Chain A
Amino acid sequence: MTKSKRIINRILILAGMVLIVLSLVKLFGASRTITDYPTASKTPDRMTEQADDWSGEIAYGVTYAALTPLGGDENVTADVRFDPADDYWGLPRSDGVDLVAGYCSVCHSLAIVMQQRQDVEGWTYLLDWMEEKQGMAPLLADDRAVILAYLSREFGSH
């Protein structure tokens, strides 16, 4: 064995020992972390905080969206609520709100309109259904376009 080889061997052994010590420290440290780690989410105190934070509703949508986990909520205006005290019953104020408030409150409450989440096709079907089966006077083409755009924008499904 040459001198230089012996030196390299010693360096390797030294490096090996350092590595072993380092990983022992790491292991020891890690196991310490595990044993010392307070079961944070399980302590009654923090559970109470979590219970306080809870929305009050079980997220059924999450399971159903299993095939498209990132699908998200269907509607941009999901928290728009029917409000009998508001001048426009809580309808979002955007182009067409007065037409919808006027036409669609004659026979029924806007509560039934505001519960829906439909795309353009779905809203078209509903407007046809109002006209053909429910006795709504046919909408003027211009008004219909504005109403359709309003409904599928504010109460759409995406």
Chain B
Amino acid sequence: MTRQPSEPDKPSRRILLKSITGASFLSALGAPIPFLGNLPTGLVPVALAQGTSSLSQQKPGLTVLNDRPVNMETPPHLLDDAVTPAARMFVRNNGLPPASVDAHSWNVRVDGEVETPLDLSIDDLKTQFETVSLQLQIECAGNGRRFMKPAARGNQWSFGAISCATWTGVRLRDVLDRAGLKENALYTAHYGADTHLSGDPAKHPISRGVPIAKAMEPHTLIAFAVNGDDMPPLNGHPLRLVTPGWPGSCSQKWLTRIEVRDQIHDGAKMTGQSYRVPRAPVHPGASVADEDMAIIESLPVKSLITAPQTGIRVSTGDTIEVRGHAWAGDLDVAALDISIDFGASWSPADLSAPTNKYAWQHWRSEIRLPEAGYYEIWARARDAEGHMQPPIPPGWNPRGYLNNMQHRIAVFAL
């Protein structure tokens, strides 16, 4: 389409792709691409344009960071609802979602260091255990990565890899109690039905776990519905874990198996530098040895300004309402302050109590911009233990996790 006339010698993408599936290109590369035959035809990148538009139908208004695997974030002003609508929940896929899903025949296996391994259908979960509904935050540990300098590897999330919807399911604790944890049970290992991008059936795109204490926390759920409905296919339909307050990767989607282990799980993206930060602070850009990295657990205190939308123009002297949400991993949020003068002075906003533990808290405030000009509204939450959001990205780390810097919006008073 936009091929440069100045490069007549370069093959067009379509030719390139046609030949990449043919033996000639493979031998030209010198090495075959493994499992190429396993890749569904839907993966042929020429179809990408259509793929992207169907994404925007499923999740209108979200920003597509990657179309294969799908990674989408929600602009802050679309997160204004008290309870995040399913269509506005961000998507972080590591592999390809299962092609066809049958909720009736879906099964989750619980095994490993348990007295009685279990095989449970979704109906079994609904009938044999107490059903609970809780509003729970799920946030990607890499939310905010984009502001790390030097740049960190991975999807460049800005602010919107956070959601707080109402999840319905059963407590993981009740299921583990039924199976009976053995004394040496130390860690969980989660598996899902998504497939690795290479097509290799022996590889898991992601398989993470949590210490038994977190698994037994009464807010950790095996969920089969969100906001009273089936969850969107991209968010794990028909079954997923919700491990609130911890990296979203602990909330395995398309859940098929929970293995209880007597050691820290070493599945895909548990080891190396994935979902880990340096044990001791390092200077920006430092290279850190794998053995100096520690697994991330609770996420830090954070907040968003969801209204007004950044860039808004208001009349000088008018009173405007500013509002948003705040959350703090395993902790509650104790206070939220806002500043309209680049952090020189702060004033407290009204902050609501959470609907339940691990639900984000809502805050609101009224401000008047005294003179015409460019203003930024900054929001700063403080958790129950006194930690506050910093104005700049804290603690640079190689993978750019845990950036809980203050969110700011721009306002022009005219």
Contacts and interface: CB of A to CB of B under 8 A. Distances in A.
Interface residues of A, number: 58
A137 interface: yes
A34 interface: no
Interface stretch (A8-16, A18-26, A104-112): A104-112
B151 A118 contact: yes
B14 A87 contact: yes
A86 B2 contact: yes
B29 A103 contact: yes
**Residue from the set B52, B196, B414 with the largest chain A CB neighbour count within 10 Å:** B414
A29 interface: no
Interface in A43-95: 43-44, 47-48, 50-51, 54, 56, 58, 60-61, 63-66, 71, 74, 83-89, 93
**Residue from the set B30, B64, B200 with the largest chain A CB neighbour count within 10 Å:** B30
A101 interface: yes
A56 B311 contact: yes
A105 B46 CA distance: 11
Contacts of B393: 64
B376 interface: yes
Contacts of B203: 134-135
A74 B16 contact: no
B370 to A, nearest CB: 11
Contacts of A85: 1-2, 49
A140 B197 contact: no
Contacts of A44: 316, 372, 414
A36 interface: no
Contacts of A58: 310, 376, 408-410
Contact of A109 (B36, B45, B150): B45
Contact of A111 (B30, B49, B65, B405): B65
B391 interface: yes
B8 to A, nearest CB: 12
Is the contact region of chain A dominated by helix, strand, or loop, or is it mixed? loop
B23 interface: no
Contacts of B39: 106
Given A89-B13, A102-B25, A41 B149 contact: no
Nearest to B268: A133
B16 A98 contact: yes
B67 A140 contact: no
B104 interface: no
Given A98-B16, A115-B66, A109 B149 contact: no
A42 interface: yes
Contact of B197 (A43, A97, A134, A157): A134
Nearest to A66: B392
B33 A93 contact: no
B123 interface: no
Interface of A: 41-44, 47-48, 50-51, 54, 56, 58, 60-61, 63-66, 71, 74, 83-89, 93, 97-98, 101-103, 105-109, 111-112, 115-119, 121-122, 125-126, 133-140, 143, 157
Interface of B: 1-4, 7, 10-14, 16-17, 20, 25, 29-36, 39, 45, 48-49, 52, 64-69, 71, 147, 149-151, 153, 155-156, 196-200, 203, 268, 272, 287, 310-311, 313, 316, 371-374, 376, 391-393, 405, 408-410, 412-414
Given A51-B313, A97-B10, A133-B268, 5 more contacts: A54-B412, A63-B391, A84-B52, A85-B2, A135-B34
Q: Top 8 nearest A-B pairs by Cβ distance? A: A135-B198, A117-B151, A107-B197, A87-B13, A109-B68, A137-B31, A51-B412, A84-B48
11 contacts: A44-B414, A50-B374, A54-B410, A58-B409, A93-B7, A102-B25, A103-B29, A106-B20, A108-B197, A111-B68, A112-B71
